[in-house]
Structure 1
Amino acid sequence: MKVELITREDLESFKKELFEEIKRHSPYMRKSAQEPKEWLKSYEVRKLLGISAGTLQNLRLNGTLAYTKIGGLMYYRYEDLRKLLNGVDGS
């Protein structure tokens, strides 16, 4: 059995490749004549990123993705998602 170690650089590279793949297949991230919505609901974000509700909750809790709660619904800025997918976190 061969053991291979994964480095931080390997994970960063994988993250970039994964986000590029998501952007290629996402109707929200494609450039078109129609402007994207400014705010997206949780189900739209989950569909866009291909993640579960629990993963989205973790992104909220650890501060990776900002949100606004109105009533019982969570909304996410399209611009924040674009920055996340492009690897811009403001730090």
Structure 2
Amino acid sequence: MNVELITRDDLERFKKELLEEIRKFQAFPRKRGEEQRNWLKSFEVRKLLGISAGTLQNLRVNGILPFSKIGGLLYYRYEDIQKLMEGASQ
């Protein structure tokens, strides 16, 4: 049996790499008047669409609104939200 030990330094290095990857999804302008971010968190989507957490969950479960899960956070592409809104208005 081949056993590898993970050191505290290994975990710190992994944490740093993971946080850098997550920040790539969050590295978008946040001020008014600036370009729209490509990825939004759940609370931002609920606010944008004016829906409850349960409604957003139904959109996910029924495959109506695609999402990506990173760690414990769910992210939604702004482009997918726009498509959903355009489809609802037709």
Q: TM above 0.5, one fold? A: yes
Counterpart in the other structure of 2:50 = 50
TM-score w.r.t. length of structure 1 = 0.59
Question: Which has the higher relative contact order, 1 or 2, with Cα contacts under 8 A spaced 6 or more apart?
Answer: 1
How far residue 55 of structure 1 moved from its aligned partner, in angstroms, is 0.4
How far residue 34 of structure 1 moved from its aligned partner, in angstroms, is 2.0
SS in 2 for 1:87: helix
Segments ≥4 residues shifted beyond 2 Å: none
- Structure number with greater Rg is 2
Counterpart in the other structure of 1:13 = none
**Letter of the 2:43 counterpart:** Y
Counterpart in the other structure of 1:87 = 87
**RMSD of Structure 2 on Structure 1 (CA):** 1.7
Q: How many residues align?
A: 57
Q: Deviations over 1:13-71 (max 9, x none)?
A: xxxxxxxxxxxxxxxxxxx8521000000000000001110100000000000000000
SS in 1 for 2:65: coil
What's the % identity of the aligned pairs?
68
Q: Gaps (5+ residues) in structure 1?
A: 1-31
Counterpart in the other structure of 2:37 = 37
**Letter of the 1:46 counterpart:** R
Q: Gaps (5+ residues) in structure 2?
A: 1-31
For residues 8-87 of structure 1, the aligned pairs below 5 Å read: 34-87=34-87
